[in-house]
Structure 1
Amino acid sequence: MDERRATVLRAVVENFIESAQPVGSAAVLEMTRLDVSPATVRNDLAALESGGYLMQPHTSAGRVPTEAGYRYFVDGLGPGSLDSTGVRQVGAFFAHAQGQIEELLADTSRLLSDLTEYAAMVVAPNHDLDSIRSAQLVDLGGGRLLVVLVMSSGVVERTYVDVYSNPDLEAAAQGPAAGAASAVLAEALVGRTRTQPLVVPTTGDAATDALVAAALSALAADEPHPSELYVGGTAKITEQFEPASSLRSVLSVLEEQLMVVTLLRSLVDRGLSVAIGSETGMKPLAECSVVVAPYEVDGRTVGSVGLLGPTRMDYSKALAAVHTVSRRLSASLGDGDGAHVPTGFSRSAQE
């Protein structure tokens, strides 16, 4: 389309996002200051409707954007930037973020929702692809053992080792064999993923080898869980969908963790930062848009952050918030200075 009609379309989209009311030629002229007559703008609106970019809810009403109109608008947006208040809010959050990664991701979802007033989603790292950064066999006392794995993404996995059912194991767990077994596990596991084949040579010490075998058996039985999903600000979208049946459909999707995780991963894999309406591939989200960005650890994508809102969402603000938060989350989980360290583990233990 020519530049004038592109300007008219952008004006309609921006006005409708702000007002939620059909947009007429007078409003377009007021926003754009185009040096043309109202009749010319009306012709442009009619042409954009014929081209599938706009629609008219009813006769004599103004126009509203279609999915194609929103897509044209979004494709013309740059990455955008948060306002000074948002920048300070994000900076303060990551400067003081503490606790384990699960807490960080949950808090990040609430931060992203607070920045935008939409429902925010954070997909935790995919354990299947993580390498093991640290492995320890921890003596909890009383013959209780715990295998603690710190993954490359910062996720901490804990697996209990049953020693009570075997008197010999219980005795070994209370002696020096426990420390030796921890060293053997670290040597065998660090640098590998949970799904890689593993061959651990015996040490020749029966107690140590028995503890190592018990720990490996417990790890094999405790398969990595699917990536967790953290959702923040669900209540913020309750007034953005009409009728109520539309809201119920959206909320039902947010309750299906695997469905949302699959959707966000699919969008990232397809290289999409915004999916509008039917582009999500999910009928209950026909009136929604999703904005998503991946976050990384050691240069590898491990998860994603996203926003869910109505198709008339403020795309510029949403894109800026998602990309800013994803970059800061990557830095927080990375290996450099300021990286996030799970509570209870020193940085040397992770490295």
Structure 2
Amino acid sequence: MMDERRAAILRAVVEEYIETAQPVGSGRVARLPMVAVSPATVRHEMVVLEEQGYLHQPHTSAGRVPTDKGYRLFVDSLVAPGPLDAAQRHQVSAFFAGAHGALEEMLADTSRLLSGLTDYAALVTGAPPDDATIRSVQLVGLTGRAALAVMVLSNGAVVKARLELADTVGDGRLAAATAHLSRGLLGASPQAISPVPPTGDPVVDGACSQAVAALAAAGSEVEPGQVYVGGTSRMVSAFDAVESVRKVLGILEQQYVVVGLLRDVVDRGLSVAIGVEHGVEPLSECSVVVAPYQVDGETVGAIGVLGPTRMHYPQALAAVAMVSQRLGRKIGDN
């Protein structure tokens, strides 16, 4: 267990480095109210912190910078998620109050919202179709014998198929067909839709058979889980080295890697992965703050932000937590 004085010095170094991106000297730390000890004492404690692996001195005459281990202690023990300010909370509320349209559009817009709140690249994934199940099915009459079969998945995706029914079906039988389809299909995979048993009403059974065939065809064409990335241009200003920017942008173009990264962090029960912790070598200078979002108690995707290890962790944690909660609630209400 680190003593309070040493912990306060480490916190001061981390927070100062996050703000300035410059090595932090003992004189600067000694002047901070949270420390209130002599520069000589700070120098001694910083040497100890370096020996313990929490700080690193890039040059002999330079101050210290945090290591991944230092950031980890900072996140786990020294700082709590900071609340979003009133303007940011209003921005999130207004966004979700006005969010309508297709799920894909909402997820893309959410990535841009989160990037704007944090000034980092934002990542939003939907559940892959293999993980999604059918949440609702409905047959809607159009004109004459035309009808629309609508299937809503647990990840919020909507699958539609237009039908030309063999018989004229009134509203009552369409409602009966909807109820029968719901009993037979809810909870099933959209890739494994099977025929529903007959009802004994040939008109209802015909409508159900056509709807099942059309939805099975449409469901098989649902695209694999996609990642929506907002704010990639913000990564250019987050790193000093052009090579670091190139590596990060290269990874963000590989959707499979990004989806796997977010899922792995969530599966390990983490909300923050720092530096090499996430296991993606080209992102070793980055941290990821992640949260799953849930619909009706079921995890259907994840959102996160990607930035340098000198990330504003309290703000990023608060933004990701709030947006993930509101996104899941919005999808569940649709």
Q: TM-score range by the shorter chain?
A: 0.7 to 0.9
Q: Distance in 1 between matches of 2:182 and 2:308?
A: 48
Verify the 8 A CA contact 1:7 1:32 in the aligned structure 2: no
TM-aligned CA deviation for residue 214 of structure 1: 4.8
User: Which of 315, 318, 331 in structure 1 is aligned with 2:316?
Assistant: 318
TM-aligned CA deviation for residue 89 of structure 1: 1.4
Distance 1:263 1:33, change over 3 A: closer
Verify the 8 A CA contact 1:11 1:32 in the aligned structure 2: no
Q: Deviations over 1:219-255 (max 9, x none)?
A: 4454343222111111111121232121111111111
Equivalent residues in 2 for 1:125-136, closer than 5 Å? 125-136=127-138
Structure 2: gaps spanning 5 or more residues: none
User: Which of 278, 290, 293 in structure 1 is aligned with 2:288?
Assistant: 290
Q: What TM-score do you get using the length of structure 2 for normalisation?
A: 0.87
Equivalent residues in 2 for 1:203-222, closer than 5 Å? 203=199, 209=205, 212-221=208-217, 222=219
Equivalent residues in 2 for 1:69-148, closer than 5 Å? 69-76=70-77, 77-137=79-139, 147-148=149-150
Q: Distance in 2 between matches of 1:277 and 1:262?
A: 16
TM-aligned CA deviation for residue 100 of structure 1: 2.8
User: Which of 245, 248, 259 in structure 2 is aligned with 1:247?
Assistant: 245
For residue 198 of structure 2, what is the aligned residue in structure 1? 202
For residue 64 of structure 2, what is the aligned residue in structure 1? 63
Q: Deviations over 1:252-276 (max 9, x none)?
A: 1111112211111111111100001
Asked if residue 175 in structure 1 is aligned to residue 175 in structure 2, the reply is no
Verify the 8 A CA contact 1:8 1:32 in the aligned structure 2: no
For residue 327 of structure 1, what is the aligned residue in structure 2? 325
1:31 is paired with a residue whose SS is: coil
Q: Distance in 2 between matches of 1:280 and 1:34?
A: 32
Asked if residue 268 in structure 1 is aligned to residue 261 in structure 2, the reply is no
Q: Distance in 1 between matches of 2:255 and 2:225?
A: 9
Distance 1:34 1:236, change over 3 A: closer
Asked if residue 155 in structure 1 is aligned to residue 151 in structure 2, the reply is no
TM-aligned CA deviation for residue 35 of structure 1: 3.9
For residue 306 of structure 1, what is the aligned residue in structure 2? 304
- Percent same amino acid at aligned positions? 55
Asked if residue 192 in structure 1 is aligned to residue 193 in structure 2, the reply is no
TM-aligned CA deviation for residue 154 of structure 1: 2.9
Verify the 8 A CA contact 1:115 1:321 in the aligned structure 2: yes
Q: Deviations over 1:291-312 (max 9, x none)?
A: 0111111122221110000111
Q: Deviations over 1:155-181 (max 9, x none)?
A: 2123467xxxxxxxx671x63399476
Which amino acid in the other structure matches residue 44 of structure 2? Answer: N
Asked if residue 47 in structure 1 is aligned to residue 40 in structure 2, the reply is no
1:39 is paired with a residue whose SS is: helix
For residue 165 of structure 1, what is the aligned residue in structure 2? none
Q: Deviations over 1:102-150 (max 9, x none)?
A: 2222211111111111011111234444442321345667987653201
Q: Distance in 2 between matches of 1:127 and 1:322?
A: 24
Distance 1:281 1:160, change over 3 A: farther
Q: Distance in 2 between matches of 1:133 and 1:238?
A: 41
CA-atom RMSD in angstroms:
2.6
Verify the 8 A CA contact 1:82 1:320 in the aligned structure 2: yes
Q: Deviations over 1:156-209 (max 9, x none)?
A: 123467xxxxxxxx671x633994765543342134343667452235666765
Q: Distance in 2 between matches of 1:299 and 1:41?
A: 48
Verify the 8 A CA contact 1:125 1:155 in the aligned structure 2: no
Q: Distance in 2 between matches of 1:333 and 1:219?
A: 21
Q: Distance in 1 between matches of 2:258 and 2:9?
A: 35
Q: What TM-score do you get using the length of structure 1 for normalisation?
A: 0.83
Structure 1: gaps spanning 5 or more residues: 162-169, 342-351
